[in-house]
Structures are given as structure tokens and as C-alpha cells.
A and B are shown apart, each in its own frame.
Chain A
Amino acid sequence: MTAVAPVTAPWCDRCGEPAGDHPACAAARRLEPPRYCPQCRRRMKVQVLPAGWSATCVEHGTVSS
């Protein structure tokens, strides 16, 4: 259900810090949609519906569940 960011993505899609080993973010992402674009670190427009979500970066497009 979760769109996994490519391993080469420079940013963490939850906290917006440089990608790496973020155990807290990894755990939280089970119950959270992404918030930052993993490519450019922009905050994404996130829409949560009862059965899914989508997150859009103006530059890099939309990911969804």
C-alpha cells in the first residue's frame, strides 16, 4: 500500500531530512502518508481518504497508496 521512495532519493519523505536510517520515521510511516517529496524536499499536498491517500509535489508529480 505504501509507495516506497527510490533508494537513491536524497530526502526522507516523512521528516524532510537527508535520507538515511530513520527508525522513527520508518515506524511512523506505517500509519502516515508521506509529507515531503523525497526528490526535492518540497512539502507535498496530501489528501487522505478513508481508504487511501495521494501526495503531490508540484515538480515531481503524485504518488498514491
Chain B
Amino acid sequence: MAEILDRARAQVLENGVGLDEEGILEILRLPDEELPAALQLAHEVRMKWCGPEVEVEGIVSLKTGGCPEDCHFCSQSGLFTSPVRAVWLDIPQLVEAAKQTAATGATEFCIVAAVRGPDARLMQQMREGVAAIKAAVDIQVAASLGMLSQEQVDELVEMGVHRYNHNLETCRSYFPNVVTTHSWEERWETLKMVRDSGMEVCCGGILGLGETVEQRAEFAAQLAALDPHEVPLNFLNPRPGTPLGDRPVVEGKDALRAIAAFRLAMPRTILRYAGGREITLGDLGTREGLLGGINAVIVGNYLTTLGRPATADIDLLQDLSMPVKSLSATL
């Protein structure tokens, strides 16, 4: 067995100390025949430091498209010739989306907007929307609205938003190749404010943007330094009309190596399957990832693309004897 796996067993599994960048890179470079052992170890780490529960979440786009930023993977940027048109949900639709999410057994509902940061109109929609959801649906509300000011952070806390998502998307050294309209450091600033506010920090990114394997390791190490409550892991789903629209999808085994590596970097985080798993991993790979470090899923549809039916994931969790985390366990 590879020496790195012995080292990870002693350090991560026994002591709960994540691998450093060098160790992460070794995991990402493991040959195929070592992959099952890496996934097995990552699974043991997850079971020991997080437990068997899986956190289930639904997401919805409150404001779609027309974003002034230029994240090269994103079909919602107004700067590309993507077919995604700008559109808003109204409050009843937002509440309906939360109800659909709760009906799957999910405990988390994340409201997302395609913006650089919120304006007064969006904050007003959030205020009304979060209040309406809280009055009608038993679910925790999270938000993802881009870069925030301190006042906006405070307002979200006041509304009862318990977790804030703001992805770094990729490592610091590769970020300027993916986004030119704002910097990695600006994103980091928002994350610091969110953390200091007491809201839970949700921060992850997308693999397959053209980053090297070294940069993938750099990214995992940078996330580990932030120590987020949750890390959503996306795999690029190349979107027509975007600068990355012709990129190949991440190879399934590389995606699984990344799942194991991210888990071994962050033994206690909620590591969530986000977008792209359907095309990168398929049904079989989805299962392997849940047995290789993943302990959370987004169920149902995404923001502009569709997922597999929520029931398929819930059935899979049942099959794997992994209980869905309940609301009482999250409070």
C-alpha cells in the first residue's frame, strides 16, 4: 500500500488532523489500483469524525442570469452568449421551492442569486422570502448572494439565515484564469466577515476548470485553512456559450481521487456533492463517492440545470444505510 495512505491513517483517521498540500497532492496522484484503498480510508475518516448521517439540501435560484461578473464556467454571466435569460422568482414560488425541498426530507434550503453582490431590491426580496419560508416550512435557510458588505452580513444574520455560501471556486493561483471581474481576495474578505458573524461558512468550488493537479491540491489546502463548515464540490458541466463550454468533463476516477483527497484534507467538514456529479460520475460513481468521503448531497434540480430525481438519492442513502440528518440534529 502507498506510504501516504499509512501516513493518512495515522494522522487523519486516528488524530483528526487533515493532510497538508503535499499529502493531498500524493492522494491526487495515486495510481488507479490504490484508489479503492484511498476511498475506503476517506470513508472511515468521514464515519469517525462526522458520523453516518448525510445532510440533504435543496437549492433554488431566486435571481437567474444577467450577472455582471465573468466567471468563465457560468451560464448566468451576462457577458457571454449563453441562452440563459434573466428571470426572478416571486415569493410564492420561493416558498414552493422550499416546500418541494422539505418534502424530500432535506434540512437545508439555499437561496441563490446570480449577482456580484446584493442590491437593495435583492435584500428586500430576501427579507420577505426568508420570513415567508420560515412561516410556512420547517427547514433551515442558507443563502448565496455573492460578495457582501458588513451591513448585509448583519442583515442576513438578523433574517435568520444560518449558513452562507460563497465559493472560492478554484485555488488562488488559478483564479485569475477563471474570473477577471473580481479577485480571489475579495471573495476571501466576504468569507471572513461571514465567519466572524457567526453564520456557518459554506465554501467550495468547481473541479475541471483547467487547473493542474497541483492546483487542485493547492485549492484543497486553501479551503482547509479557511476551515469551512461545509464544502460543496462541483465538477464542471461545460455550459454552451461560456468560455469553458468546450472543456472535457472530469474523468470519473479523478473525481473520486479528489473526493478522497478533500476528505483527507478536511476530516470534519460537511463535504457535499453539488453540480456535475451526474455527468462526471453517473449512478455508480455517485455511490462510490458516498462511500469515499462525501457526507452531504444536493437533491433535485440545480439552479439552471436538472438533477436526477430526489427519490433516487434518498433511495441510495437508504440502500447504503446512511440516515438523512434530521432537523433536530442540526439545531
Residues of chain A touching chain B, judged by Cβ–Cβ distance below 8 Å, are 15-16, 30-33, 35-36, 43-53
Residues in B whose Cβ lies below 8 Å from that of A45: 85, 87
Give min CB distance, A16 to chain B, whole Å: 7
Are A44's CB and B85's CB within 8 A? yes
Contacting pair B306 A33 (CB below 8 A): yes
A53-B306 contact in complex given A31-B278, A47-B93, A48-B301, C-beta closer than 8 Å: yes
User: Which single residue of chain A is at the shortest CB-CB distance from B275?
Assistant: A31
Cα distance A31–B305 in the bound complex, in angstroms: 6
In the complex, the answer to whether B310 meets A48 with C-beta atoms within 8 Å is no
Name the interface size band of chain B: 20 to 34
Task: How many A-B residue pairs have C-beta atoms within 8 angstroms? Tell me.
Answer: 66
* B97 x A49 contact (CB < 8 A): yes
Q: Does the CB pair B299–A50 fall under 8 Å?
A: yes
Contact residue among B85, B87, B97, B278 (Cβ-Cβ distance under 8 Å from A50): B97
29 contacts between A and B (CB under 8 A): A15-B240, A31-B278, A31-B279, A31-B307, A32-B305, A33-B304, A33-B306, A36-B83, A43-B83, A45-B85, A46-B85, A46-B87, A46-B304, A47-B64, A48-B302, A48-B303, A48-B304, A49-B60, A49-B93, A49-B100, A50-B58, A50-B59, A50-B100, A50-B101, A50-B299, A51-B103, A51-B310, A53-B301, A53-B306
Expressed in whole angstroms, the Cα–Cα distance for A27 and B58 within the complex equals 24
A44 to chain B, nearest CB (A): 7
Q: Given the complex, which residues of A lie within 8 Å of B132, measured CB to CB?
A: none
| B300 interfacial by beta-carbon distance below 8 Å | yes
Within 8 Å of chain A (Cβ to Cβ): is B123?
no
- CB distance B100 to A46 under 8 Å? no
Separation in Å of the B283 CB from the closest CB of chain A? 13
Give Cα A16–Cα B136 distance, bound, in whole angstroms: 39
Q: Pick the 4 closest A-B CB pairs, nearest first.
A: A50-B300, A35-B83, A51-B100, A50-B58
With an 8 A cutoff between CB atoms, is B84 at the interface? yes
Hey, which chain B residues are within 8 Å of A32, CB to CB? 304-306
- Interchain CA distance A31-B303 in the complex, whole Å: 12
Chain B: minimal CB distance from A30 (Å): 8
Most buried by B among A31, A33, A43, A49: A49
Closest to B278 in A: A31
* Shortest distance from the beta carbon of B88 to any chain A beta carbon, whole Å: 9
Most buried by B among A30, A47, A51, A53: A51
A47-B84 in contact (CB<8A):
no
The residues of B that contact A16 with a CB separation of less than 8 Å are 83
Contact with A along B242-269 (1 / 0, CB 8 A): 0000000000000000000000000000
Whether B312 is near chain A, meaning CB under 8 Å from some CB there, is no
Say yes or no: is B61 at the interface (Cβ < 8 Å to chain A).
yes
Q: Which residues on A sit within 8 Å (CB–CB) of B301?
A: 48-53
Instruction: Please name the residue on chain B nearest to A27 by beta carbon.
Output: B279
Q: How far is the CB of A32 from chain B (nearest CB, A)?
A: 5
Per-residue contact bits, chain B 285-315, to A (CB 8 Å; 1 contact, 0 not): 0000000000000011111111100100000
Distance between Cα atoms of A47 and B307 in the complex (Å): 14
- Please give the distance in Å from A54's CB to the nearest CB on chain B: 10
Within the complex, what minimum Cβ distance (angstroms) separates B236 from chain A?
14
Chain B residues closer than 8 Å to A52, beta-carbon distance: 100, 301
A52 CB to closest chain B CB (Å) equals: 8
